[in-house]
């Protein structure tokens, strides 16, 4: 088979075909089948391979090895067998939309900014690295222009110019090519040497959506989508926006402002809760017996700031020697210990080691977390502080 003359090049829209098995080798855990001709595109030039079946046998990978295309399968096929090949056409057509879309965007960037496409990968998204810096706003303009070229629905031309014609032709991706050079031309968009499969016209690309443009090395890494996957992405984003608009009773496209408002409300409420907790604390402390050597208070839900305020109030207003405020449940408690007369720092290590905790502080205040049950915490605190000599 002459390179660049396989069925997927001659007739790129072939979904099913007949061929003959001319080779089949057992390689590690699979078989590599060679056909006399094939519509399966092998991975290459940034484009993933085709998948599908040969006589109902799944073809999971297709590679070009030393110029020969091998079809990877779990089972062998006998030499000389006439087989019927069927491509996963949706997958292949998506790759065509993506590859043509990538050329179009790369060509427009090259013409407008002179930047080269220096790396290209088609996976979850189409990822393209450009040699210069591009902002998202600049990519937005490229996105609009690329979609305009799609609407013009011009034919995408494949040609094999002679060496003389190539000499005077201005095209991208001159490197890496030997032998026959295959040129893909998008009118008003791009001229580029390429070995991939493309849609027959720009209209079939369908839609181009730029997702991001981020600084990468000395240039820009662009994530984009084309065709069906761009539509699927837009549908997913639409669904998200719709869900948020229903939840917040806001209009779609105004959900950002609605979320901002919600966050402001939350922050206001958090502030109010803090103020209420402090107020509640003064009530709780009213009934608390004064002048105790150790005051221990357990709470289910209290922020650190309030815990600290409560411990300080127990020491300063209720004249307790050591105040411990704990917040949590089962075997996890946050703690704040305060004292103005006992050097707490000396106890920090012992407390954390005995109660599987972490934390620290000063001689006046310790804070952190214990990972043990309430009883163990209470027992140790009593043992250490309840009977201290004044």
Q: Which residue's beta carbon is nearest to the bound Zn ion?
A: 194
Q: Is 194 in the site for Zn ion (CB under 5 A)?
A: yes
> What is the smallest separation between the CB atom of 102 and Zn ion, expressed in angstroms?
7
How far CA 113 is from CA of 26, 109, 269, 290, in Å, comes to 49, 6, 50, 77
Q: What is the largest CA-CA distance in the chain?
A: 102
Q: Is 101 in the site for Zn ion (CB under 5 A)?
A: no
Tokens (6 digits) for 84: 């019927």
How far CA 192 is from CA of 133, 160, 203, in Å, comes to 21, 11, 19
Give CB contacts under 8 A, 24+ apart, made by 54-57. Answer: 54/83, 54/84, 54/85, 55/81, 55/83, 55/84
- Residue number with CB closer to Zn ion (188 or 331): 188
> What is the smallest separation between the CB atom of 196 and Zn ion, expressed in angstroms?
4
> What is the smallest separation between the CB atom of 99 and Zn ion, expressed in angstroms?
6
> What is the smallest separation between the CB atom of 106 and Zn ion, expressed in angstroms?
9
Q: Which stretch binds Zn ion (CB under 5 A): 131-139, 196-204, 277-285, 311-319?
A: 196-204
CA 242 to chain centre: 22
- Residue number with CB closer to Zn ion (194 or 326): 194
Neighbours of 64 (CB within 10 A): 16
- Residue number with CB closer to Zn ion (188 or 241): 188
- Residue number with CB closer to Zn ion (196 or 357): 196
The binding track of 136-175 with respect to Zn ion, each residue x by CB under 5 A or -, is: ----------------------------------------
> What is the smallest separation between the CB atom of 220 and Zn ion, expressed in angstroms?
19
> What is the smallest separation between the CB atom of 183 and Zn ion, expressed in angstroms?
11
> What is the smallest separation between the CB atom of 49 and Zn ion, expressed in angstroms?
15
- Residue number with CB closer to Zn ion (48 or 196): 196
- Residue number with CB closer to Zn ion (116 or 376): 116
Which of 107, 189, 196, 219 touches Zn ion by CB under 5 A? 196
> What is the smallest separation between the CB atom of 26 and Zn ion, expressed in angstroms?
33
- Residue number with CB closer to Zn ion (133 or 223): 223
Q: Is 189 in the site for Zn ion (CB under 5 A)?
A: no
- Residue number with CB closer to Zn ion (196 or 206): 196
Q: Which stretch binds Zn ion (CB under 5 A): 68-76, 161-169, 192-200, 374-382?
A: 192-200
> What is the smallest separation between the CB atom of 356 and Zn ion, expressed in angstroms?
59
> What is the smallest separation between the CB atom of 186 and Zn ion, expressed in angstroms?
11
> What is the smallest separation between the CB atom of 194 and Zn ion, expressed in angstroms?
3
- Residue number with CB closer to Zn ion (85 or 196): 196
- Residue number with CB closer to Zn ion (100 or 339): 100
- Residue number with CB closer to Zn ion (195 or 307): 195
- The count of residues interacting with Zn ion (CB under 5 A) is 2
The dihedrals phi and psi of 20, each to the nearest 5 degrees, come to -120, 140
Given the rule CB under 5 A, which residues bind Zn ion?
Answer: 194, 196
């Amino acid at each position: 088979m002459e390179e660049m003359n396989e069925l997927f090049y001659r007739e790129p829209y072939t979904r099913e075909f007949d061929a003959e098995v001319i080779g089949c080798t057992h390689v590690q855990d699979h078989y590599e089948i060679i056909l006399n001709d094939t519509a399966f595109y092998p991975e290459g030039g940034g484009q993933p391979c085709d998948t599908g079946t040969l006589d109902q046998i799944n073809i999971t990978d297709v590679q070009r090895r030393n110029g020969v295309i091998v079809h990877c399968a779990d089972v062998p096929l006998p030499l000389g067998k006439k087989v019927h090949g069927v491509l996963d056409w949706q997958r292949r057509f998506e790759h065509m939309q993506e590859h043509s879309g990538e050329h179009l965007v790369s060509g427009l960037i090259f013409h407008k900014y002179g930047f080269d496409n220096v790396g290209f990968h088609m996976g979850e998204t189409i990822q393209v690295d450009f040699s210069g810096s591009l902002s998202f706003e600049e990519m937005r303009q490229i996105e609009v222009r690329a979609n305009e070229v799609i609407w013009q629905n011009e034919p995408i031309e494949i040609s094999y110019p002679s060496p003389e014609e190539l000499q005077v032709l201005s095209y991208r991706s001159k490197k890496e090519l030997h032998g026959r050079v295959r040129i893909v031309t998008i009118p008003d968009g791009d001229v580029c040497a390429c070995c991939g499969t493309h849609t027959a016209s720009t209209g079939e690309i369908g839609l181009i959506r730029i997702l991001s443009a981020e600084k990468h090395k000395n240039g820009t890494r662009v994530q984009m989508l084309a065709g069906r996957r761009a539509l699927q992405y837009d549908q997913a984003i639409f669904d998200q926006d719709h869900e948020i608009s229903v939840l917040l009773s806001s209009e779609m496209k105004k959900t950002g402002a609605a979320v901002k408002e919600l966050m402001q409300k939350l922050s206001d409420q958090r502030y109010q809760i803090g103020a209420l907790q402090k107020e509640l604390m003064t009530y709780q402390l009213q009934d608390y017996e004064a002048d105790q050597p150790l005051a221990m208070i357990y709470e289910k839900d209290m922020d650190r700031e309030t815990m600290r305020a409560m411990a300080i109030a127990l020491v300063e207003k209720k004249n307790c020697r050591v105040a411990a405020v704990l917040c949590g449940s089962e075997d996890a408690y946050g703690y704040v210990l305060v004292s103005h007369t006992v050097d707490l720092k000396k106890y920090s290590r012992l407390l954390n080691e005995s109660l599987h905790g972490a934390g620290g502080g000063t001689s006046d205040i310790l804070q952190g977390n214990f990972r043990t049950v309430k009883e163990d915490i209470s027992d140790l605190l009593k043992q250490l502080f309840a009977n201290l000599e004044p």
